[in-house]
């Protein structure tokens, strides 16, 4: 819509007319009458004077129009566009997800279909990412090494796509939990310290990397990074052997004690997810205790229009100044 930023300036429009009305008219000079025999020449001079008078009045109206254009430009005319919703800067949430060889264990049910652990995580963590509207979300994948899959960004769709591209064993078959925490600290410390969150999910124990998980957790506490750890994997599975069906614990390698210590040192919490339903409940709980930003900022794009009346005033002024010269040239030709 169109609007004027400084409406009070419009009150200056009639100022030249007020000044014109207040200034007293010049009194006609009384001179002695002269008897001149050149009557026709006098008539021509009077006609020329009348023409000049009309030209003078026309110039005054053009000047008044220039004044109106200048006042209109000074009032700040502008075009205000439709409101655009901007994401409000909320928390900075980094997800660190284990993609070591053990994540290929098919002990999860998703939509009545048996899937491996990583497939279940892609579906449930993907929804968690989608729900973090207003937060910056990033993604770290780790195995024998940790690497940044997606930097912190408001673009949750891209983060989800990059999570979906994750492949088991891409970062190596082992588990470097300490290195994953270290990389998260490196990325999160650039952002406000009160909103740094790391959600770390693994199904094993730290058996690779250059940094121990507890050392990394102490460093995270120093940089105000709150870590929520999730131990993932079923604790009971039936497998066929030469002796018949046997019940095993497919999560026997999970180091729950270390994950509890990591969470405790940083002010976070440890969660245990034994199936997809449990994992969904954990992410729902994280959304409650660390809610995403709900308030949104509205931005209306504003396009200033003052240059148009200002440009028109300039063109009229130039034409008014050049008009006598153009007239003289036309008469001379």
Q: Are residues 59 and 174 in the same domain?
A: no
Count of all residues that appear for the chain in the document: 333
Inside any domain, residue 321: yes
Q: What is the pLDDT of residue 251?
A: 79
Q: How confident is the model at residue 42 (pLDDT cuts 50, 70, 90)?
A: very low
Give the residue with greater pLDDT, 255 vs 324: 255
Same domain? For 102 and 238 the reply is yes
Q: What's the Cα-to-Cα distance from 258 to each of 81, 204, 291, 311, rounded to whole Å?
A: 54, 10, 26, 72
Q: What is the pLDDT of residue 299?
A: 67
Domain limits at 314? 2-17+41-82+300-332
Q: What is the pLDDT of residue 44?
A: 47
Residue 270, strand partner residues: 229
* Top-confidence range, 9-18, 81-90, 221-230: 221-230
Q: What whole-number distance in Å separates Cα of residue 144 and Cα of residue 84? A: 44
First to last CA, the chain: 51
Number of structural domains (the chain) is 2
pLDDT the model gives residue 86? 58
Say whether pLDDT at 40 is over 50.
no
Looking at residue 186, what is its pLDDT? Answer: 94
Say whether both 165 and 249 belong to one domain.
yes
Residue 109 within a domain: yes
Q: With cut-offs at 50, 70 and 90, classify the pLDDT of residue 227.
A: very high
How high is the pLDDT of residue 301? 81
CA max distance for the chain:
146
Instruction: Identify whether residues 251 and 202 lie together within a single domain.
Output: yes
Closest CA to 91 of 163, 146, 156: 156
Let me know whether 129 and 148 are in one domain. yes
Residue 34 lies in a domain: no
Q: What is the dihedral of CA 20, 24, 30, 31, to 10 degrees?
A: -50
Assign 240 a pLDDT band (cuts: 50, 70, 90).
low
Q: Give the integer Cα–Cα distance in Å for 207 and 172.
A: 12
DSSP state of 27: P
Residue ranges of E strands in the chain: 2-4, 77-80, 84-86, 92-98, 108-110, 113-115, 136-142, 146-153, 196-202, 225-232, 237-241, 244-248, 270-273, 297-299, 302-304
Work out the mean pLDDT of the chain and round it to a whole number: 84
Cα-based torsion angle of the residue sequence 33, 34, 37, 43 in order, rounded to the nearest 10 degrees: -60
pLDDT at residue number 333: 57
C-alpha distances out from residue 318 to 62, 309, 310, Å: 11, 14, 13
Residue 36: its pLDDT value, please?
47
Structure tokens at 158: 């891209």
Residue 297, pLDDT score = 61
* Least reliable range by pLDDT among 15-29, 86-100, 105-119, 266-280: 15-29
Residues 200, 184: one domain?
yes
SS3 245: strand
Q: Is residue 22 part of a domain?
A: no
Tokens, residue 72? 């209109």
Same-domain status, 69 and 202 = no
Q: How far apart are CA 87 and CA 252, in angstroms?
A: 43
pLDDT value at 45 more than 50: no
Q: How far is CA 70 from CA 12, 59, 142, in A?
A: 10, 16, 65
Q: Per mean pLDDT, which range of 117-121, 173-177, 271-275, 294-298 is the poorest?
A: 294-298
Per-residue tokens: 271: 């969660």
For residue 26, what pLDDT is reported? 54
At 84-109, the pLDDT tens digits run 665 555 789 999 999 999 999 988 98
Coil, strand or helix: which one is 147?
A: strand
User: Rounded to the nearest 10 degrees, what angle do helices 117-131 and 276-289 cross at?
Assistant: 20
Residues 102 and 174 in one domain: yes
What is the pLDDT confidence band of residue 18, given thresholds at 50, 70 and 90?
Answer: confident
DSSP type of residue 76? -
Structure tokens at 95: 């997800």
Which of helix, strand or coil describes residue 64?
A: helix
Any idea of the CA torsion for 104, 108, 110, 116, to the nearest 10 degrees? 0
Arithmetic mean of pLDDT, 202-225: 94
Digit-coded pLDDT (tens) for 112-168: 898 999 999 999 999 999 988 878 999 999 999 999 999 999 899 999 999 999 999
Phi/psi of residue 110, each to 5°? -135, 115
Instruction: Check residue 193 and report its DSSP letter.
Output: G
Q: What is the CATH number of the domain that holds 132?
A: 3.40.50.410
Dihedral over Cα of 105, 274, 128, 171: its sign? negative
Shared domain check, 94 and 76: no
């Amino acid at each position: 819509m169109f609007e004027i930023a400084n409406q009070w300036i419009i009150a200056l429009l009639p100022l030249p007319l007020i000044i014109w009305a207040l200034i007293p008219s010049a009194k006609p000079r009384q001179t002695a009458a002269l008897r001149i025999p050149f009557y026709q020449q006098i008539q021509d001079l009077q006609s020329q004077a009348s023409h000049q008078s009309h030209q003078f009045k026309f110039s005054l109206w053009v000047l008044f129009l220039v004044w109106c254009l200048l006042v209109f430009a000074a009032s700040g005319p502008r075009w205000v566009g439709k409101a655009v919703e901007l994401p409000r800067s909320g928390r900075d949430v980094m997800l660190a997800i284990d993609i070591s060889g053990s994540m290929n264990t098919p002990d999860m049910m998703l939509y009545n279909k048996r899937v491996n652990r990583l497939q279940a995580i892609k579906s449930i963590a993907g929804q968690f990412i989608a729900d973090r509207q207003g937060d910056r979300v990033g993604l770290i994948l780790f195995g024998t090494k940790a690497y940044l899959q997606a930097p912190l960004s408001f673009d949750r769709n891209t983060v989800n796509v990059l999570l979906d591209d994750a492949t088991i064993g891409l970062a190596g078959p082992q588990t470097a939990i300490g290195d994953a925490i270290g990389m998260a600290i490196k990325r999160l410390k650039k952002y406000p310290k009160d909103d740094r969150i790391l959600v770390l999910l693994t199904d094993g124990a730290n058996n690779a990397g250059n940094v121990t998980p507890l050392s990394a957790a102490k460093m995270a506490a120093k940089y105000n990074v709150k870590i929520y750890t999730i131990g993932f994997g079923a604790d009971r599975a039936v497998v066929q052997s030469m002796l018949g069906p046997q019940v095993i614990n497919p999560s026997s390698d999970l180091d729950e004690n270390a994950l509890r210590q990591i969470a405790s040192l940083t002010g976070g919490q440890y969660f245990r997810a034994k199936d997809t339903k449990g994992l969904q409940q954990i992410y729902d709980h994280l959304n409650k205790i660390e809610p995403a930003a709900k308030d949104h900022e509205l931005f209306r794009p504003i396009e200033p229009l003052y240059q148009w009346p200002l440009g028109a005033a300039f063109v009229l002024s130039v034409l008014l100044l050049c008009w006598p010269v153009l007239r003289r040239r036309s008469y001379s030709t």
